[in-house]
Chain A
């Protein structure tokens, strides 16, 4: 498995509180992604990064922000968590993004419950 860790692995929080999830990679890959996975929806892209301090929105970015100050770390922040953000969050990395794309390696996931 690629060197990707996510922390925390599980979190229970209350509505309205801020939450930050961390993704750390040791592969020195340029591209990093945050997905959420919900039953019946597959994996939906929240935000991605194509370099340090370079980020862009994905399909379901509302209510989420990201930051990437170092190649190895990509943070996902829920400014004010809501129950609809209860989900499993996956971080992924890829080495490059050629016009033909490239495979993505996924972290172990973070299960977040918002009460």
Chain B
């Protein structure tokens, strides 16, 4: 079945350093979504990318969707302690059997040291 791999699993950074997490899919994706989950909380939607090569920014966060629509990345510039949490990508593949299913990556747990 469809798989979405996400690396790294854990990342510790000093406050002010940059952070990047990567997602790779075994199949071409229709779109990709990114979610953030704070410790003890629930996932919260951040953004959706649809177009090949698309780049979107939210303040210090930059999201990219690969040209082949099989990979994506989230980059945080100058991390802050408020960025702590687990970041998940979720890919959508359109097919008769999974038209309504997002497949989530395993997540990257970000720790920011003050």
In the complex, which residues of chain A have a beta carbon less than 8 angstroms from the beta carbon of B88? 42-43
Give bound CA distance, A17 to B30, whole Å: 41
> Which one, B41, B92, B100, B104, contacts A42 given CB within 8 A?
B104
A22 near B: Cβ within 8 Å?
no
Question: How many of chain B's residues touch chain A, expressed as a range?
Answer: 20 to 34
* Contact across chains for A59 and B42 when beta carbons are under 8 A apart: no
11 A-B contacts (beta carbon < 8 Å): A35-B104, A42-B105, A42-B107, A43-B43, A45-B102, A48-B101, A58-B101, A97-B99, A101-B31, A101-B92, A108-B42
* Contact across chains for B100 and A59 when beta carbons are under 8 A apart: no
In the complex, which residues of chain B have a beta carbon less than 8 angstroms from the beta carbon of A42? 6, 88, 104-107
The closest CB in chain A to the CB of B44 belongs to: A106
In the complex, which residues of chain A have a beta carbon less than 8 angstroms from the beta carbon of B48? 100-101, 103
Binding site for A on B (CB under 8 A): 1, 6, 9, 30-31, 33, 41-45, 48, 50, 88, 90, 92, 94, 99-107
Given the interface pairs A48-B101, A50-B100, the reply to whether A106 lies near B106 with Cβ below 8 Å is no
In the complex, which residues of chain B have a beta carbon less than 8 angstroms from the beta carbon of A105? 45
Give bound CA distance, A43 to B104, whole Å: 6
* Contact across chains for B101 and A106 when beta carbons are under 8 A apart: no
Question: How many of chain A's residues touch chain B, expressed as a range?
Answer: 20 to 34
> Which one, A48, A103, A108, contacts B33 given CB within 8 A?
A103
* Contact across chains for B43 and A101 when beta carbons are under 8 A apart: no
* Contact across chains for A100 and B1 when beta carbons are under 8 A apart: no
The closest CB in chain B to the CB of A4 belongs to: B42
In the complex, which residues of chain B have a beta carbon less than 8 angstroms from the beta carbon of A92? 43
